[in-house]
Amino acid sequence: MKNTAKLLNGAQFTIAAAEPRQWPPEPAAEVAFAGRSNVGKSSAINTIAGRKGLARTSKTPGRTQQIVFFDLGGGARLVDLPGYGYARVPDRLRAGWAVLIERYLSEREALRGLILVMDARHPLTELDRNLLEWCEPAGRPVHILLTKTDKLSRNQAKQTEMKVAQAVSELENEVTVQLFSSLKRTGVEQAREKIGTWFGDR
């Protein structure tokens, strides 16, 4: 998996796209990250890529419409989908978010897999379930990162992992689950391995 670490480490910001027509051209191979605001998505992207300032935290409502693309070279990209569930986002923006994300997840040819970041203390919120639903019909594989596990005991974390794995086992697409912590850097290799598989270890 050294190659994947190297590939991810070379990520270059390409565009923060406010509209689908700004999405970079296909064919390409993209791995996207999604998750509730404040769940630790940016930290997870930075930890997995081994690059501190790569993904910025998206705490302002204006960012809810932007999809950020990072080039890895050779047509591979990381994609940071806007956070959601931000309390102060007006309904109008929230609806726009849903349309945009559903479109990306269901139509984007380049999408190889979605990393869905959840807080291990509050997994499978309604919005998380929406994201899973949008990936299922198109058969997109999803890898769930249960992050901030440093806030749980080892036993609690294991229990949560099992519960979530059980809950998603009925879905028709491939959905896998792992424990993660950006703070303690746990699960980093496992996440890179999954991403490497999706990129076909290029």
Q: Is 181 near ligand GDP (CB under 6 A)?
A: yes
Residue 183: which of 55, 48, 43 has the closest Cα? 43
Q: Is 83 near ligand GDP (CB under 6 A)?
A: yes
Give the DSSP per-residue string, 23-58.
SPPSS-EEEEEEEBTTSSHHHHHHHHHT-TTSSPP-
Q: Which is nearer to ligand GDP, 4 or 181 (CB)?
A: 181
Q: Which is nearer to ligand GDP, 29 or 116 (CB)?
A: 116
Report the DSSP pairing between strands 67-73 and 76-80. Answer: antiparallel
In the numeric block, which tokens belong to residue 84?
A: 């959601």
CA angle (146 as vertex; 144, 147 as ends), nearest 5? 130
- The distance of Cα 147 from the centroid of its chain, to the nearest Å, equals 12
- What is the closest distance, in whole angstroms, from the C-beta atom of residue 150 to ligand GDP in the complex? 5
When binding is defined by CB under 6 A, the residue of 182, 191, 194, 199 that contacts ligand GDP is: 182
Give the footprint of ligand GDP on residues 32-61 (CB under 6 A): 35, 37-43, 57-58
Spatial separation of the C-alpha atoms in residues 170 and 174, rounded to whole Å: 10
- What is the closest distance, in whole angstroms, from the C-beta atom of residue 133 to ligand GDP in the complex? 20
- What is the closest distance, in whole angstroms, from the C-beta atom of residue 144 to ligand GDP in the complex? 14
Give the footprint of ligand GDP on residues 138-177 (CB under 6 A): 147-148, 150-151
By rule CB under 6 A, what count of residues binds ligand GDP?
18
By CB under 6 A, name the binding residues for ligand GDP.
35, 37-43, 57-58, 83, 147-148, 150-151, 181-183
